[in-house]
Amino acid sequence: MEIKKAVIPVAGMGTRFLPATKSMPKEMLPVIDRPVIHHVVEEAINSGIDDIIFITGRSKRSIEDYFDDSPELENHLKMKNKEKMLKIVQDISSMVDIHYIRQKEPRGLGDAILTARKHINDEPFAVLLGDDIIVNEKPCTKQLIDNFIKYGRSTIAVEEVPRDKTGSYGIIQGKPLDDSLYIMDDIIEKPAPEDAPSNIGAIGRYVFTPEILDCIKKTTAGVGNEIQLTDGIRLLKEKQKVYAYKFTGKRYDTGDKIEYVKAIIDFALNNEDMQEQIKEHITGLGM
Ligand code: UTP
């Protein structure tokens, strides 16, 4: 079975990035010259997705503009003979089929995903959080899709997180099947370190059977008074197996300021045109 649809929720308030996010979405923060969301969409496309549903909200217009045609800009670049930049700009608007659905209020990640229900049409689908960049030759979403194809069941990406950070993740309890795969027994939203069943945390990538939507619908507001995806997953695992997959790759949670700065440094050090000067700069700091 193929997975062709992906939901990318971008309707959160981004309070960790205030005041910048007062008027701009955190997903549009640039990592060098491409916004975070560009990297996320690229991962979806490189995983075989050809239909993306963005769940948007207040002050997210710039995301739509970014993936739309921009005739004025394109004409300007044509007139100035900036062919290379013209191609880059045109490629962005023809990347993939994108639909936009508005989440009326940011009532939680579960609620955001439920908003896409009509468009999902009872098919399995991927979810990529719009502020997580994951770098790896085989995209993280593709790794999950391959596991889904093998077992036919929902698969969520996980990684080991520091014990004192369990309060920022959905933490799983699971039976290991091999080095990278678990069958999920439970998942708990943001437990304190002393209550966490493990230090294996869910990150921003999932592939779901369509049954997750009914499960989310049955939940009521949980932690933080939000409709939590985690609570939907807990119900889903009562009905069918759910797998947790330790993905390969380097993740940056760019919704967090320190992680965002690390992403910029690493991308600059990997960029042929910039690496020498950035290395010189860092060395010059003498730390
Ligand atoms: P986060 O919790 O990281 O986003 O949600 P946030 O609430 O915007 O961030 P802070 O904590 O206030 O800084 C993970 C993802 O889910 C989306 C967010 O946009 C983000 O991509 N989300 C969250 C929604 O689309 N709707 C919601 O109601 C909540």
> How does residue 198 score in pLDDT terms, banded at 50, 70 and 90?
very high
57 CA: nearest ligand 1 atom: 25
- Strand pairing category for 250-253 and 132-135: antiparallel
If you write DSSP's letter for every residue of 195-252 in order, what string do you get? G-S-SEEEEEEEEE-THHHHHHHH----GGGS--HHHHHHHHHHHS--EEEE--SEEE
Nearest CA to ligand 1 atom 14: 129
Instruction: Write out the two tokens for 214.
Output: 């009914």
**C-alpha to C-alpha distances, 11 to 17, 129, 215, nearest whole angstrom:** 14, 10, 21
How far apart (Å, rounded) are the C-alpha atoms in residues 152 and 145?
Answer: 9
Residue showing tokens 């995983």: 47
User: What spacing in Å lies between the alpha carbon of 59 and ligand 1's midpoint?
Assistant: 14
Predicted structure pTM score: 0.94
**C-alpha to C-alpha distances, 208 to 3, 84, 152, 188, 192, nearest whole angstrom:** 10, 39, 10, 18, 27
The angle formed by the CA atoms of residues 213, 214 and 220, to the nearest 5 degrees, is 95
**C-alpha to C-alpha distances, 2 to 49, 95, 138, 139, nearest whole angstrom:** 9, 19, 17, 16
9 CA: nearest ligand 1 atom: 25
How far apart (Å, rounded) are the C-alpha atoms in residues 156 and 244?
Answer: 5
Q: pLDDT value at position 249? A: 97
Q: pLDDT value at position 254? A: 95
How far apart (Å, rounded) are the C-alpha atoms in residues 143 and 121?
Answer: 23
Q: How far apart are the first and last CA of the chain?
A: 52
- Strand pairing category for 5-9 and 125-128: parallel
Q: Does pLDDT of 43 surpass 90?
A: yes
User: What spacing in Å lies between the alpha carbon of 230 and ligand 1's midpoint?
Assistant: 14
- Strand pairing category for 51-56 and 5-9: parallel
- Mean of per-residue pLDDT scores for the chain: 92
How far apart (Å, rounded) are the C-alpha atoms in residues 100 and 52?
Answer: 8
Residues with CB under 6 A from ligand 1: 9-16, 55, 103, 106-109, 111-112, 129-131, 255
How far apart (Å, rounded) are the C-alpha atoms in residues 184 and 8?
Answer: 23
Ordered structural domains, the chain, with CATH: 5-255 (3.90.550.10)
More confident residue, 91 or 106: 106
> How does residue 79 score in pLDDT terms, banded at 50, 70 and 90?
confident
Nearest CA to ligand 1 atom 4: 12
Q: What integer is the mean pLDDT of 264-279?
A: 95
Give per-residue pLDDT as tens, 92-118. Answer: 777 788 999 999 888 999 999 999 999
